[in-house]
Amino acid sequence: MDSHRRVDAIYADFALDSPSDYRAFLTAHARALGGIEAAAQPQAPRLPLLAQDLAALDLPLPEPLPLDDNVADGFHWGLRYTLEGSRLGGAMLSRQVAPGLPKAYLSAAHGKGEWIAFQRALDGAAAEGGEGWLDDAVQGAQAAFALFAQAGQQAGQASAHG
């Protein structure tokens, strides 16, 4: 998915072993995650963990970026898919965080069998979703990636000018 590669490229510019870059990275994630989790209502929200990490760095939880209001079931599953997938990436990124920096958010990996259970639930929802469900799910995933991209670009521009 091109939007996934775009987000990866934006966040690759943040050095997670640098306290200032890590602060900007977490703040950007919080701006995106706040709106996405509010809409998607995941079973295991990570925003509280992210707020905990930010507080440990003496940073407030920022205002979330607005997310388009879409009530379609498929759209919400697309958001959840992106959130659950980002847990996989977060577990890998947590290894890059400098010692002494908080990393509850990035370390919130899936428990044994949780990713497979999510995929099964997603497949079940898709099977029951009817016409247009898959298109809605793709739109949800793209909306989530777009929010992460927007937040990352804004954080990168702010750190470049700050």
At residue 1, the pLDDT reads: 59
Tell me: the pLDDT tens digits for 34-49? 999 999 999 889 999 9
The angle that helices 2-11 and 133-161 make with each other, rounded to 10 degrees, is 20
Residue with tokens 């977060």: 90
Q: What rounded mean pLDDT belongs to the chain?
A: 93
Residue carrying structure tokens 């990436």? 89
Distance of CA 32 to the CA centre of its chain: 7
> Angle formed by the axes of helices 19-40 and 73-93, to 10°?
160
Which residue has 């908080």 as its token pair?
A: 102
Q: What is the DSSP letter of 108?
A: -
**pTM for the whole structure:** 0.92
* Local confidence pLDDT in tens for the 162 residues of the chain: 588 899 999 999 899 999 999 999 999 999 999 999 999 999 889 999 999 999 999 999 999 999 988 899 999 999 999 999 999 889 899 999 999 999 999 999 899 999 999 999 999 999 999 899 999 999 999 999 999 999 999 987 766 544
Q: Which two tokens stand for residue 53?
A: 């990490």
Q: How many CB atoms lie within 10 A of CB 72?
A: 16
Torsion sign (Cα): 9, 13, 18, 20: negative
